[in-house]
Amino acid sequence: MNEITSRFLPQEDEQRRELHNEVHARPPARVRLPALIVYVAVLNHGISREQEWAHLRQLPGHADLQLALLQGNFLRLRCDHFTVKWERHAEFTRYSIVQALPAHAQWGAELPELAQHVATGTEWLRSLPGQTMAAIHLGMLPAEMDLADLIPTAQAWLGEGTVLASRMGNTTEGLPHSCILTHFRIGDDGFERMLVVAPENTTEARVGRISQRLLELETYRLMALRGLPVAKNLSAMLSSAEAQLADITGLLERKGETDQALLDLLVALAARIERATAEHGFRFSATRAYDSLVSQRLVELRERPISGTQTLGEFMQRRLSPAMATVQATEKRLASLAERVSRTSALLRTRVDIATEAQNQLLLEKLTRGQELQLRLQVTVEGLSMAAISYYVVSLLFYALKGLKAYGVPIHPEMAVALMLPLVLWSVWRSRQKIHAKLNRKDV
């Protein structure tokens, strides 16, 4: 029984606190400009919470970290001059290292080296349990935003590749609140680069929210795209299955195969489709969910275009939308194929039922004819049995009369039996009729 937590309220549901606090489970970080966020998202399939806990304990000053603190799937650890944020999700785990921006990577630097300057050390980062899905160097710089020099300066900081840029948030005196710039390319060090340029008076809370939205945007984009290879790989199987179903339907129409052969083909095809649905249904559902989150994060950025460049939203629309359309089309194609197999199976089942009905009708007719023959045979046997019974009765009477004659009774046995024969035959026939009448009454 749950304890009453307030004298003003009824008994509290056991999940109330957990569900209420879910909104506070992953608070955004407060980031002070200038900052560098080293972000890595790793797939955690087969990776236990204990393995991640053991790795987090290697951080300086956290050797006594308790495993119970990881049960909430979110943890922020403060170390000397940097912070590590750990977040575990259903399919991946995210590590965000927030540290000061190196002096050589300030605004105006040309492709600064960042990987070697991670505050945790490169070895700790390299040995993260799991497989890398996303890795980003997010530079967050305070700078005056002269739009004329913004793209060339950012191009030098990001490296080769077409720069995507947009202004975020509301404007003040005609100037954007902040700008996001990236080229969505993986560098030689394995990291993507993103650059946020904001006024110096931008609050730490806002900088933290911007960083969280950008990092989640890229992570969810990549996780959504995990459904695309699955859709492409299924295309050949679906084409083959559709052709096979068309052949089976043709055979069903032409009655070119036995029902059992068609049933075997349909069962094998249905098993293939159900296996594909079971194996990839989760991935298709996850793709829809991740795509929805990408759209949501883009809306939260409140992008506004910068002349001569694409915004992140435009880039996603042109690149991500076709991939998502392919995944959705494949999912619908798989569901449609399963439904068509079900309809074909219903048609075959109907044909089998009709054939079974015809066979049952023939069997019933044969049983009826057999019963008629049996009845005729029974009548014939009964006629013979009447003659036999009459013969035995007459024989008994004859022996009885002969016995009476031997005792001196003046009687002629042969003549007496001859006279009694009609009575015996009538009596046997009458007895048979009574028996039939009694049986008929029982049947009714």
Instruction: Provide CB contacts within 8 A for 159, sequence distance 6+.
Output: 111, 183, 185, 187, 193
Cα 286 from Cα 148, distance rounded (Å)? 41
Backbone angles phi, psi at 43, to 5 degrees: -70, 130
Strand partners, 83: 78, 98
Q: What is the pLDDT of residue 173?
A: 47
Top-tier CATH class for 227-361: mainly alpha
Q: What is the pLDDT of residue 127?
A: 95
Strand, coil or helix: 141? strand
| Token pair recorded at residue 101 | 């921006």
Q: What is the pLDDT of residue 174?
A: 47
Cα 294 from Cα 217, distance rounded (Å)? 5
Going 52 to 53 to 55 to 61, the CA torsion angle's sign is: positive
Among candidate residues 40, 30, 223, the one with its CA nearest the CA of residue 138:
40
Cα 119 from Cα 105, distance rounded (Å)? 15
Count of positions (residues) in the chain: 444
Strand, coil or helix: 314? helix
CB contact at 8 A, 291 and 320? yes
The separation between the first and the last C-alpha atoms of the chain, rounded to the nearest angstrom, is 66
Q: What is the pLDDT of residue 5?
A: 63
Instruction: Provide CB contacts within 8 A for 65, sequence distance 6+.
Output: 53, 56, 57, 77
Q: Provide the residue type at 195 as one letter.
A: L
Q: What is the pLDDT of residue 262?
A: 81
Which residue is associated with the tokens 């005729």?
Answer: 376
pLDDT tens track of the chain, all 444 residues?
A: 445 467 788 888 888 777 777 776 667 778 999 999 999 999 999 999 999 999 999 999 999 999 999 988 899 999 989 999 999 999 999 999 999 999 999 988 999 999 999 999 999 999 999 999 999 999 999 887 677 788 899 999 999 989 999 988 765 544 457 899 999 999 999 999 999 999 888 889 999 999 999 999 999 999 999 999 999 999 999 999 989 888 888 887 777 677 778 888 888 888 889 899 899 999 999 999 999 999 999 998 898 888 889 999 998 888 899 999 999 999 999 999 988 888 888 877 777 777 777 778 888 888 888 777 877 777 677 666 777 777 787 788 777 877 877 887 788 878 877 887 788 778 877 887 777 777 777 655
**Long-range Cβ contacts of 48-57 (<8 Å, 24+ apart):** 49/88, 51/129, 52/86, 52/88, 52/93, 52/129, 55/124, 55/127, 55/128, 55/129, 56/84, 56/86
Strand, coil or helix: 360? helix
Cα 84 from Cα 137, distance rounded (Å)? 14
Q: What is the pLDDT of residue 442?
A: 62
Strand partners, 77: 84
Which residue intervals of 172-311 are DSSP H helices? 204-225, 227-254, 259-301
The DSSP element (H or E) to which 255 belongs, if any, is none
Q: What is the pLDDT of residue 116?
A: 93
Going 171 to 172 to 173 to 176, the CA torsion angle's sign is: negative
Cα 235 from Cα 226, distance rounded (Å)? 15
Strand, coil or helix: 256? coil
Burial class (CB in 10 A: 0-12, 13-18, 19+), 277: middle
Among candidate residues 141, 144, 149, 145, the one with its CA nearest the CA of residue 193:
141
Cα 102 from Cα 36, distance rounded (Å)? 8
| Token pair recorded at residue 329 | 């089309």
